[in-house]
């Protein structure tokens, strides 16, 4: 049985087996209750647990929440966009938004100083989130290291409700840094339901499936903790985009991703060097057509650069038939990327004064 | 090699071996630099680590601190007095005093609610501390659950500087509740040195030797943590009084201790039933004299009820010679106890309004 390690490097390829193993339901069943969303439509967001509790609350006019975390681990790239688009979907649905910057976790598990984490969070995450449409004013954004006494204490009280064996079965070991990070994350996930934030309410956490262990143990803690009532959090799951060279998209390998702060020239060069499903010769390509499943550039288009399904279908058909060459596909991607990055980077700089002021009001170092 | 478990029930009988194993020095070497103190004089406080750093600071007119914790685990009895008397000695020496009520620890390791812990801390510990002479106004007293965001975060950051193996080697396992409690305790011990309290300064922690694992790992953390400077804390060690029935004095066995809130009648009855070193018959006693080493009543006199060394020596001589019978020894103890308890319980009630007001100003529940 494959373990999923939130701190590891596991590549999830067999999503169906994983869903079955961990009781994750297909999100397609709830699609008509959700706003129209490219990622849901295309099965990129593919699974959920208890999302209906959130949708029921929305339908009843009750309050509900969305919570997600930022793990400051390098530049913000297209692989991070899936979560942000879900955040924006829940924002559109009227969820209370909670956004947590995991600086305690990056300190405890990645040896990053709180100061470096803070800078990374602002430059690489918050500016991009806001440029993409996050309404910071109606979001409970916080750094873990500044979450307040009660939040920290709650994470410590949760320790009574998890055993060392559960930790080891879930995370592989009971390393102190990991344990403290995990406990803090349970408090983060349950924060929208804390007594000072109105108490229990359906809460959805959009996560990569590698983060599911946190969700599962948080659900256990929510049901075991007796000092305040918490509902088990719901969750949604998305597929990971592969790296542009094939394999995993990784913050430590700049050629594997396009950052939202990449220059247009760099971004185009990465597309030029990306792994495609094109054949070795034009003749063979015209004859057999592209292997779209293998094509990282097509994946980028499908995930984030082509909104219209008909248009994507047309591209796919032409590419698969051999009528479109890899170079032509790449040219489409480069054009879209140029437009996207130019537009985004402008918005990003426009967001800077607001974000910096917001953070200055929220940030004080702990030593 | 015997492990010492701060959460366990280990009875330390061979103090010398333990001192050698863990690098604890005899406090007798420093006796002439300390205020005259019955417990030091009689070897009840027997050991220390780095206490000279504190004495040097005192001599130089530099600031230094004393830190101790209250673990709310039952009624306050004579077995707890040893620590309080050391606290008062360091208060007399001019130390900054820090007193921490370990309510997170009692929640995480003893299944006690924060509310019950608070009540116990006030009723059984704080009232007695103040009645015994603690100057609450010049003490940094706090509940762990209200220590403040930065304190909590610091305890989490410390997690990076301890490994799972160290935890397991020190405490026997890496139970989450124990781990969180231990990390919190490191922050407690280092609190007098925190940046907001004036930074690094010699700090002494008077502990029972069963708490030494916390001190040792705190010393490691202090030297490994790089985000703020900390000196390794110093410590003093005292012997445990045996239970009145022989064996361990235990909060769960009321006959084993005399509580500072026991009625005078109850206290006398416990003395009547206490294990002595008297012989089976008066004849044998007159002939062989008492076995003082075995006598729990004599121990109580020596620890806490007879201040004057000459007087104690006289009692011992008479008892050992057989001139004094166990019943007579018990009568001395009962008279002293009656005087002590009457006086103490009066002071205790006198302290109540002040303590309750103090706590009301410091106490707010975390859920």
Note the pLDDT of residue B349. Answer: 96
Residue B209 has pLDDT above 50, yes or no: yes
8 Å CB contact of A195 and B367: yes
Which chain B residue's Cα is nearest to A226?
A: B367
3-state class (DSSP) for residue A231: coil
Q: Is B176's CB within 8 Å of A167's CB?
A: yes
Contacts of B194 in chain A (CB under 8 A): 367
Smallest Cβ–Cβ distance between A164 and the set B153, B176, B366 belongs to B176
Which positions ≥6 away from A303 have C-beta within 8 Å?
Answer: A39, A42, A44, A78, A81, A82, A241
Question: Is A112 part of the contact surface with chain B (CB cutoff 8 Å)?
Answer: no
Q: How confident is the model at residue A14 (pLDDT cuts 50, 70, 90)?
A: confident
Sign of the Cα torsion A117, A119, A124, A125 reads positive
Confidence of residue A73 (pLDDT cuts 50, 70, 90): confident
Q: Average pLDDT for residues B214-234, to the nearest whole number? A: 96
**Is A229 part of a structural domain of the chain?**
yes
- Lay out the sheet containing A96-101: strands in order across: A25-26, A45-49, A234-238, A203-208, A65-70, A96-101, A139-143
pLDDT at A211: 87
A19 in the same domain as A57:
yes
Tell me what pLDDT residue B2 has. Answer: 41
Shared domain for A64 and A190, answered yes or no, is: yes
Chain A interface mutation, best of B111, B143, B162, B176, highest count of A Cβ atoms under 10 Å = B176
**Side by side, which strands form the sheet with B25-26?**
B25-26, B45-49, B234-238, B203-208, B65-70, B96-101, B139-143
Q: Is the pLDDT of residue B1 over 70?
A: no
Note the pLDDT of residue A13: 63
DSSP labels, A112-155: --HHHHHHHIIIIIIHHHHHHT--GGGEEEEEGGGS-HHHHHHH
Interface check B108 vs A, CB under 8 A: yes
Kindly tell me if the per-residue pLDDT of A367 is higher than 80. no
d(CA B201, CA B64): 5
Question: pLDDT-derived band of residue A17, with 50, 70 and 90 as boundaries?
Answer: confident
Mean pLDDT for the stretch of residues A293-321: 96
Of residues A145 and A10, the one with the higher pLDDT is A145
**Cβ-based neighbours of A220, under 8 Å, separated by 6 or more:** A161, A162, A166
Name the residue facing B146 among A149, A179, A183 (closest C-beta): A149
Residues above pLDDT 90, as percent of chain B: 86
Closest CA in chain A for residue B180: A156
Chain A interface test: which of B142, B154, B156, B194 (most A C-beta within 10 Å) = B156
B278 pLDDT higher than 70? yes
Q: What is the percent of chain A where pLDDT is above 90?
A: 86
Of B146, B153, B176, the CB nearest to A162: B176
In-domain check, residue A4: no
Helices A326-362 and A264-272, axial angle in degrees (round to 10): 140
pLDDT tens per residue, range A201-219: 999 999 988 889 899 999 9
Supply the range of the domain harboring residue A276: 254-348
Interchain contact B73–A (C-beta under 8 A)? no
Q: What is the pLDDT of residue B366?
A: 61
Is pLDDT above 60 for A2? Answer: no
Distance CA B329, CA B334 (A): 9
Average pLDDT, chain A: 93
Mean pLDDT on B161-178: 95
Asked whether residue A194 falls in the same domain as residue A278, the answer is: no
Burial class of residue A294 (count of CB atoms within 10 Å of its CB; 0-12, 13-18, 19+) = middle
Q: For residue A99, what are the β-bridge partners?
A: A68, A141
pLDDT at residue number A125: 95
Cβ of A222 under 8 Å from any chain B Cβ? Answer: no
Q: Are both A156 and A207 inside the same structural domain?
A: yes
**Other beta carbons less than 10 A from residue B92's beta carbon:** 12
- pLDDT digit string (tens) for B290-348? 999 999 999 999 999 999 999 999 999 999 999 999 999 999 999 999 999 999 999 99
Instruction: Name the residue of chain B whose CA is nearest to A154's CA.
Output: B367
**Residue A12 predicted with pLDDT over 60:** no
- What is the overall mean pLDDT for chain B? 93
User: Looking at B17-21, B63-67, B155-159, which range is the least confident one?
Assistant: B17-21
Q: Is the pLDDT of residue A4 over 80?
A: no
A195: how many CB neighbours lie within 10 A of its CB? 15
Beta-carbon neighbour count of residue B11 at 10 Å? 11
Shared-domain flag, residues A225 and A287: no
A284 at interface of B, judged by CB pairs closer than 8 A:
no
Taking alpha carbons only, the member of A78, A25, A82 closest to residue A52 is A25
Tell me whether residue B360 is in a domain: no
Q: Do A149 and B147 touch (CB under 8 A)?
A: yes
Q: Which whole-number Å values give the CA distances from B46 to A243, B206, B207, B237, B296, in the listed order?
A: 64, 11, 11, 6, 19
CA distance A165 to chain B (A): 8
Q: Which CATH number goes with the domain that contains B311?
A: 1.10.240.10
CB contact under 8 A, A177 and B195: no
> Residue range B130-138: average pLDDT?
96
Total tally of structural domains belonging to chain B? 2
In a domain, A324, yes or no: yes
The answer to whether position B361 is within a domain reads: no
Q: Which of B107, B228, B366 sits opposite A367 (nearest CB)?
A: B228
Res. A95: pLDDT tops 90: yes
- Give CA–CA dist B243/B251, Å, rounded: 10
The pLDDT confidence band at residue B11, using thresholds 50, 70 and 90, is low
Model confidence pLDDT, tens digit, residues A232-250: 999 999 988 999 999 899 9
For the residues B100-129, what does the mean pLDDT come to? 95
A264 touches chain B (CB under 8 A): no
Identify whether residues B216 and B265 lie together within a single domain: no
Reported as a pLDDT band with limits 50, 70 and 90, residue A366 is low
- Per-residue pLDDT of A250-291, as tens digits, reads 988 999 999 999 999 999 999 999 999 999 999 999 999 999
CATH number at residue B215: 3.40.50.620
A169 touches chain B (CB under 8 A): no
Question: Is the pLDDT score of B248 beyond 60?
Answer: yes
Same domain flag for B85 and B154: yes
Same domain? A230 vs A258: no
Mean pLDDT for the stretch of residues A104-118:
94
**Does residue B290 form part of some domain?**
yes
Beta bridge partners of B236: B48, B206
Indicate if B218 and B293 belong to the same structural domain: no
A327-364 pLDDT tens trace: 999 999 999 999 999 999 999 999 999 999 998 887 66
Q: What is the DSSP string of A156-212?
A: HHGGGGS-HHHHHHHHSS--HHHHHHHHHHHHHHHGGGSGGGTS---EEEEEEGGGH
Confidence of residue B4 (pLDDT cuts 50, 70, 90): low
Statement to judge: residues B88 and B48 lie in one domain: yes
Is residue B208 less than 8 Å (CB to CB) from chain A? no
Alpha-carbon span B213 to B255, nearest angstrom: 29
Residues 6+ apart with CB under 8 A from A55: A30, A33, A34
A362 is a domain residue: no
Query: Do B229 and B266 belong to one domain?
Result: no
- As a whole number of angstroms, the distance between CA B72 and CA B221 comes to 25
Considering the domain architecture, whether residues A235 and A260 belong to the same structural domain is answered as no
Residue B152 lies in a domain: yes
A165 touches chain B (CB under 8 A): no
């Amino acid at each position: 049985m494959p373990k999923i390690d939130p701190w590891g490097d596991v590549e999830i390829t067999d999503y169906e087996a994983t869903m079955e193993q961990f009781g994750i339901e297909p999100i397609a069943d709830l699609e008509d209750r959700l706003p129209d969303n490219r990622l849901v439509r295309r099965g990129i967001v593919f699974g959920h647990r208890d999302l209906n509790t959130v949708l029921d609350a929305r339908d009843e006019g009750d309050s509900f929440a969305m919570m997600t975390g930022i793990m400051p681990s390098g530049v913000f790239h297209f692989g991070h966009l899936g979560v942000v688009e879900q955040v924006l979907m829940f924002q559109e649905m009227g969820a209370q938004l909670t956004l947590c910057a995991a600086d305690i976790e990056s300190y405890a598990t990645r040896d990053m100083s709180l100061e470096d984490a803070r800078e990374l969070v602002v430059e690489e995450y918050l500016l991009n989130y806001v440029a993409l449409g996050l309404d910071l004013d109606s979001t409970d954004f916080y750094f873990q290291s500044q979450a307040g006494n009660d939040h920290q204490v709650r994470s410590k009280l949760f320790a009574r409700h998890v055993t060392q064996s559960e930790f080891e079965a879930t995370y592989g070991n009971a390393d102190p840094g990991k344990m403290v990070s995990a406990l803090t994350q349970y408090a983060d996930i349950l924060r929208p339901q804390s007594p000072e934030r109105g108490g229990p309410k359906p809460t959805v956490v959009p996560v990569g499936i590698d983060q599911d262990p946190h969700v599962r143990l948080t659900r256990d803690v929510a049901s075991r903790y007796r000092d305040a009532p918490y509902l088990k959090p719901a969750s949604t799951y998305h597929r990971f985009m592969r790296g542009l060279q094939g394999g995993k998209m990784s913050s430590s390998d700049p050629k594997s991703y396009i950052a939202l702060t990449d220059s247009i020239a760099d971004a185009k060069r990465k597309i030029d060097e990306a792994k495609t499903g094109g054949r070795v010769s034009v003749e063979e390509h015209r004859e057999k057509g592209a292997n779209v499943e293998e094509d990282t550039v097509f994946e980028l288009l499908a995930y984030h650069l082509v909104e219209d399904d008909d248009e994507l279908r047309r591209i796919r058909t032409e590419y698969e038939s051999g009528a479109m060459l890899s170079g032509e596909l790449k040219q489409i991607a480069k054009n879209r990327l140029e437009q996207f990055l130019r537009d985004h980077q402008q918005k990003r700089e426009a967001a800077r004064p607001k974000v910096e002021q917001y953070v200055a009001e929220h940030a004080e170092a702990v030593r």
